[in-house]
């Protein structure tokens, strides 16, 4: 396999917009730069300046990037699409590998613990996005569950951006120790280390919605 | 800033992206700086009609997802077809509004990022402006001023065009759009979505004189439209008919079509008369209606009004019209807004203020 003999990418630009904040980072092999933007401006506006500031800090041009990493969700549908469309636009003409990172894995990394942790993020429509992680590894695939099923899960330590929609009495909520852009850098660094064949990665970012639209849901009732 | 070299033979290449509703469309236009004319180098449209048909209308979330999946590979394929690299493009035009917010954001986010990565200016284009100027894509725009009847599933308006970027809405619908009236009437008749083409298809076999449907606002002394009353009349006609036979369906479709077309034609000619304008452009999805095209041309001929109909493929949503509008801005040296974002409610009158 010639493709697996390619050197691993040096410069990786990563972006996560699954929540109301923009989290971005740039890994250059020797350095890690990160940047975040708050909710004062719409994501679609703050993104450009956030990403260009990262490149400026690292002294790089767009064509110096060797790969992209996309916080692919699950999360805000619109947020995911703004992130994905932006990365697709940046990658137009560059055609670099697109590493897909679970946005729930980033939340798990924010809790900064080596113990097993469940991530519970509100998915609206009476549902929650659920992930289980330990030491940077997903213990099972991300899921979308009704809150009743979450309540029936064995209690554990969990991390979340919002108050859960139901009472989780025996559960222990861990604080988010790391900023999202710091956690993004850590998650991307970890995931990048696991990739053996970068050329096999997709070129176009694809959100993991894990939830159909309301119209599709109604049609199936 | 766009490079402008007004020498003979120099041209601008504009890549355009349109994702405001249920068609993902991309196009490349090559415009000549010497005369403001040009040609479409390559274009693609991916329609989502089949995806939305089971829901009886466009589902915004599904539309947004489809745009995102379709757009990036479409742009790559388009550049390949045109044998152009990003470095060969002078501007990226993108529909910034009006339309579905989630759908617009896909095109706008992609365009802004691509423009940033390749150092190419991005020009936000008003979707309606694209339709207004559509006759210029393959031919010449009529001399200013002209009147455009813009008639689609989401809009019905009469616009006076005094120049590029100079638009005055002189009449519009007070409720449903004409295309919406077709869609809703089609649903009452048990026809598939989208309703306009279906109504037209049946109408060809029907007797338009069988049902006497209202011509709303025809006797009002203004240029506004109203189609919700017509839709209600169709509802009562269907209800009173009980079981609709195939003949009745065709007759009713013909009656609906002629009622809508009558109003559109009379108001458009009235607008030309009132504004003392001799050129009439018809644009938007309903402009594909053959009955409308025929009747307009017939009635305008006797009044020394010239009707300009865009190619059928440029009546519905497309990116060629967005590229052409952006090129007209470049060529006329008009600069759009610097700080802008997708704007689902961008009004035509605010075109230079967004």
Same domain, B199 and B112: no
Question: CB distance A93–B114 less than 8 Å?
Answer: yes
The answer to whether A49 touches A35, Cβ cutoff 8 Å, is no
Strand partners, B160: B147, B168
Percentage of the residues of chain A whose pLDDT score is greater than 90: 82
State the pLDDT confidence band at A33, using cuts at 50, 70 and 90.
Answer: very high
CATH of the domain at B200: 3.30.420.40
Band of the pLDDT at B4, cuts 50, 70, 90? low
Least confident of A112-116, B72-76, B243-247: B243-247
CA dihedral B180→B184→B189→B191, nearest 10 degrees, is 70
Q: How would residue A15 be classed by pLDDT, with cut points 50, 70 and 90?
A: very high
Put simply, the answer to whether B342 touches A84 (Cβ < 8 Å) is no
Using one digit for the tens of pLDDT, what is the confidence trace for B245-294? 999 999 999 999 999 999 999 999 999 999 999 999 999 889 989 999 99
Where, residue-wise, is CATH 3.30.420.40 in chain A? 12-103+179-220
Q: Per-residue confidence at B41, pLDDT binned at 50, 70, 90? A: very high
Contact residues, chain B, for A47 at CB < 8 Å:
109, 113
* Confidence (pLDDT) at B221: 84
Report d(CA B36, CA B31) in Å as an integer.
6
Instruction: Determine the pLDDT at residue B240.
Output: 92
pLDDT at B108: 98
Identify the domain boundary among B293, B309, B325.
B309
Q: Are residues B223 and B128 in the same domain?
A: no
B4, part of any domain: no
Separation in Å, CA of A218 to nearest CA in chain B: 10
In a shared domain, residues B237 and B341: no
Q: Tell me what pLDDT residue B216 has.
A: 84
Domain annotation covers residue B6:
no
For residue B5, being part of any structural domain is answered with no
Considering the domain architecture, whether residues B120 and B62 belong to the same structural domain is answered as yes
Rounded-to-integer distance, Cα A80 and Cα A83, Å: 5
Interface touch A78/B114, C-beta < 8 Å: no
Residue A186, number of CB atoms within 10 A of its CB? 20
Q: State the architecture of A12-103+179-220 in CATH terms.
A: 2-Layer Sandwich (3.30)
Residues B39 and B95 reside in one and the same domain? yes
Is the backbone of residue B9 left (phi > 0), alpha (psi -120 to 50) or beta?
left
Task: Read off the pTM.
Answer: 0.93
Q: pLDDT value at position A5? A: 59
- Assess whether B106 and B160 both reside in one domain: no
Q: What is the pLDDT of residues B76-110, one digit of tens each?
A: 999 999 999 999 999 999 999 999 999 999 999 99
Q: How many domains does chain B have?
A: 2
Does residue B61 sit within a domain?
A: yes
Least CB-CB distance to B117: which of A90, A216, A219?
Answer: A90
Identify whether B2 is part of a domain. Answer: no
Same domain membership, residue B271 and residue B166: yes
Our CA-based measurement puts residue B85 at a distance from the nearest CA of chain A, in whole angstroms, of 8
The residues near A124 (Cβ < 8 Å, ≥ 6 apart) are none
User: Helix or strand or coil: residue A52?
Assistant: helix
The architecture of the domain spanning A105-173 is 2-Layer Sandwich (3.30)
Range of the domain at B32: 11-134+315-350
Rounded to the nearest integer, the mean pLDDT of chain B is 92
**A49-105 tens-digit pLDDT:** 899 999 999 999 999 999 999 999 999 999 999 999 999 999 999 999 999 999 999
pLDDT of residue A1: 44
Pair (B75, B94) in one structural domain:
yes
Between CA A7 and CA A125 the distance in angstroms is: 44
- Cβ atoms of B158 and B271 closer than 8 Å: yes
- The pLDDT of residue A69 is 98
- Does B189 reside within a domain? yes
- Say yes or no: B27 and B56 in one domain: yes
Do B201 and B178 share a domain, yes or no?
yes
CB contacts, 8 Å: A204 with chain B: 72-73
Each residue's pLDDT tens digit, B197-215: 999 999 999 999 999 999 9
In a domain, B248, yes or no: yes
Contacts of B82 in chain A (CB under 8 A): none
Check A77 against B64: CB less than 8 A apart: yes
| The pLDDT of residue A218 | 83
Can you name the residues that pair with B146 across neighbouring β-strands? B161
């Amino acid at each position: 396999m010639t493709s697996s003999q390619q050197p691993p990418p040096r410069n990786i630009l990563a972006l996560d917009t699954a929540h109301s904040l923009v989290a971005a980072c740039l890994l250059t092999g020797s350095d890690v730069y990160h940047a975040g933007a708050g909710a004062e401006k719409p994501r679609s506006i703050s993104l450009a300046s956030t990403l260009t500031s990262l490149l400026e800090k690292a002294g790089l041009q767009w064509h110096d990037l060797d790969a992209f990493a996309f916080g692919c969700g699950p999360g805000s549908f619109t947020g995911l699409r703004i992130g994905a469309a932006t990365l697709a636009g940046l990658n137009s003409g560059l055609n670099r590998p697109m590493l897909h990172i679970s946005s729930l894995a980033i939340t798990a990394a924010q809790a900064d613990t080596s113990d097993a942790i469940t991530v519970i993020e509100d998915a609206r429509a009476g549902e929650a996005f659920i992930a289980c992680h330990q030491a940077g590894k997903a213990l099972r695939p991300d899921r979308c569950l009704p809150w009743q099923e979450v309540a029936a899960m064995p209690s554990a330590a969990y991390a979340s951006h919002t108050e859960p929609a139901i009472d989780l009495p025996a559960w222990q909520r861990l604080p988010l120790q790391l900023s999202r852009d710091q956690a993004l850098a850590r998650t991307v660094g970890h995931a990048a280390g696991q990739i053996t064949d970068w050329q096999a990665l997709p070129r176009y970012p694809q959100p993991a919605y894990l939830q159909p639209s309301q119209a599709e849901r109604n049609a199936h009732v | 800033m766009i490079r402008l070299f007004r020498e003979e033979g120099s041209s601008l290449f504009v890549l355009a992206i349109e994702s405001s509703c249920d068609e993902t469309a991309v196009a490349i236009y090559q415009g000549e700086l010497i005369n403001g004319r040009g040609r479409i180098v390559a274009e693609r449209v991916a329609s989502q009609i089949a995806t939305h048909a089971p829901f009886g209308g466009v589902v915004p979330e599904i539309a947004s997802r489809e745009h995102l999946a379709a757009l990036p590979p479409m742009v790559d394929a388009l550049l390949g077809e045109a044998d152009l690299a990003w470095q060969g493009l002078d501007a990226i035009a993108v529909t910034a509004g009006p339309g579905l917010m989630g759908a617009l954001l896909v095109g706008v986010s992609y365009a802004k990022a691509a423009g940033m990565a390749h150092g190419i200016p991005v020009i936000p284009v008003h979707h309606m402006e694209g339709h207004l100027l559509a006759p210029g894509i393959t031919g010449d725009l009529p001399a200013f001023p002209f009147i455009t009847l813009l008639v689609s599933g989401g809009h019905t308006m009469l616009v006076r065009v005094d120049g590029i970027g100079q638009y005055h809405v002189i009449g519009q619908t007070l409720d449903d759009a004409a295309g919406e009236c077709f869609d809703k009437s089609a649903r009452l008749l048990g026809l598939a979505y989208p309703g306009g083409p279906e109504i037209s298809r049946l109408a060809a076999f029907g007797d338009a004189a069988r049902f006497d449907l209202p011509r709303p606002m025809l006797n009002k002394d203004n240029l506004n439209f109203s189609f919700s009353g017509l839709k209600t009349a169709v509802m009562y006609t269907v209800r009173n008919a009980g079981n609709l036979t195939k003949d009745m369906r065709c007759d009713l479709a013909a009656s609906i079509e002629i009622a809508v077309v009558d109003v559109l034609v009379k108001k458009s000619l009235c607008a030309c008369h009132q504004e003392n304008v001799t050129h009439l452009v018809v644009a938007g999805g309903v402009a594909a209606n053959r009955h409308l095209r025929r009747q307009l041309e017939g009635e305008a001929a006797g009044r020394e009004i010239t009707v300009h109909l865009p190619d059928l493929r440029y009546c519905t949503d497309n990116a060629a019209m967005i590229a052409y509008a952006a090129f007209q801005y470049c060529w006329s040296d008009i600069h759009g807004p610097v700080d802008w974002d997708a704007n689902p409610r961008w009004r035509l009158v605010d075109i230079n203020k967004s």
